[in-house]
Structure 1
């Protein structure tokens, strides 16, 4: 701090920028008052410039891992959601190395669509270095350092599935929403073939004041339309590939949801649990922030 004002006068130098960048504005003001420097406008302008630089820096935060991966380590600060490592199609050793690198950089790694060999590779390279949660239905994994503090946003995401076979996709969404700080509440196997099963879960979610409801369905994909017609919160339809025959592999479910006559409903891609969870959590987190402010 002794030469701080001299450094400010030489603001163009790289070293001066670094010293002032690392010093809070209140400390700079206190120092300049002691030095009887009346005009702080240039310091305040620099502080604004520094904040703009930090915002831009978040957009560009990338960590290269050899030649096979570039980690978007700034995504959570930039977008409010973590980078999710898609394991599908990758070598087990590459998945393990990427997971380890993300863990070291951010304190957490979220991985989707793992195979058995990939799970073993990650467990082998991580060891006891961090806590590993593996969700066998959805083949999702969350790896956290022992010092990692999870976010709590106050957002609430409700999840419904038409059938038991839709649970893996629903669990993808559930994991992502929780990792983004939301509370989740899920009800499974409440499809339109036995529509009386739906009423109690919907009543529960509305009483809980869910901010968004994800509805996961295969076959004819009717459940999201029904739910969207009876609730006053946004509904996200998630078609799954759990179907066969005409319109197989989720095509009928996707088409039906896109053609829905119930307003207030959006649709993601077939088996798009990760994307659905991310969208739902972004919406719920905004509501959660407002709920916290007015409480």
Structure 2
């Protein structure tokens, strides 16, 4: 039961359309269900404002479908699925049932949406997603599509890294940076982009280190440590390749 359902239920009690006893029974519905391999959280949106998201990596194709069906059947209008393989997306399409209104999948970001596809941008301002290079785009798209799913207007600034800093400080890019409400700075290698943007912007900057880089980048650890040690104020850092976490946090900031 989502928040709007509870509001409707209380209105029905107020208007005498539903008895107090019937309302109590509905409110006592279990907040989760034990499916053996998963316990989908039906009250996530009541506690956190957004429904549960399915992390697809490591789950079987069947498990992803069954969890999505269960969430949709219990009031979620749409379900975000991250780190979903192309094979899993094809299986999902082949096994859609009446519980699933629609389904879309983006192979680059490995992000899928099950259920209602229409999205309304309700955020206060815009979220800018910037990358150091083209190789960072898959993580950036995970962040961008997560933010869009959660109701935000997203502007993409890709391949504006410090190796060609003039790409970042031209008027068009600077206008986007200076007018943003939140910025997600995504970079591998030495991860310097977050510090540069942090020194230019007057809004929160969420840094995302990526596993892009040569041997001594240690799979993103070098970028992570650089971002954690940024001297620019207002820069926070999420885990390596965690585009979803950055997009979710940016959405929370953009809705306050």
TM bin, normalised by shorter chain, reads: 0.7 to 0.9
Q: 2:89 aligns with which of 119, 128, 131?
A: 119
Whole-angstrom distance in 1 between the partners of 2:50 and 2:156:
21
Q: Which runs of 5+ in 2 are unaligned?
A: 1-8
Which residue of the other structure, out of 196, 200, 204, is the alignment partner of 1:230? Answer: 200
Separation of aligned partners in 2, 1:166 and 1:23: 52
TM-score (norm 1): 0.73
Q: Give the length in aligned residue pairs.
A: 237
Q: How many Å apart are 1:204 and its aligned residue?
A: 2.8
Q: C-alpha distance in 1, partners of 2:187/2:227?
A: 10
SS at match of 1:246: helix
Change (3 A) 1:180 1:20: closer
Q: Does 1:143 align with 2:114?
A: yes
Rounded to whole Å, the distance in 1 between the matches of 2:51 and 2:158 is 26
The answer on whether the counterparts of 2:32 and 2:43 sit within 8 Å (CA) in structure 1 is no
Match of 1:258 among 214, 228, 242: 228
Residues 26-85 of structure 1: per-residue CA shift (max 9 Å, x gap): x57xxxxxxxxxxxxxxxxx9xxx9xx9xxx69x96332521111112222321233210
Aligned to 2:69: 100
Shift of 1:282: 0.2
Q: Displacement of 1:284 after TM fit?
A: 0.5
Note closer, same or farther for the CA distance 1:88–1:233 as it changes in structure 2 (3 Å cut): same
Mapped partners of 1:218, 1:139: distance in 2: 19
**Equivalent residue for 1:165, pick from 94, 112, 135:** 135
Match of 1:239 among 209, 221, 225: 209
**Residue 23, structure 1, aligned to residue 37, structure 2:** no
The aligned counterpart of 2:156 is 186
Partner of 1:176: 146
The answer on 1:204 being equivalent to 2:175 is: yes
Name which one, 1 or 2, has greater alpha-carbon Rg: 1
CA spacing shift, 1:63–1:232, aligned 2, 3 Å: same
Q: Deviations over 1:86-120 (max 9, x none)?
A: 11111111111112222232121110111222112
Distance 2:10 2:50 in 1: 31
Aligned alpha-carbon RMSD (Å): 2.6
Structure 1 residue 264: Cα displacement: 0.8
Compute the displacement of 1:154 (Å).
2.9
Measure, in 2, the Cα distance between the counterparts of 1:90 and 1:81: 22
The answer on whether the counterparts of 1:115 and 1:139 sit within 8 Å (CA) in structure 2 is: yes
Cα offset, 1:20, TM superposition: 8.3
Distance 2:253 2:10 in 1: 37
Counterpart for residue 68 of structure 1: 37
- Report if the CA contact (8 A) 1:158-1:214 is conserved: yes
Deviation digits for residues 239-262 of structure 1, max 9, x if unmatched? 001122113210000000000000
Q: Given the alignment, which residue of 51, 66, 86 partners 2:55?
A: 86
The structure richer in helix per residue is 1
Any conservation in 1 of the 2:210–2:220 contact (CA below 8 Å)?
Answer: yes
Asked if the contact 1:80/1:282 (under 8 Å) is kept, the reply is no
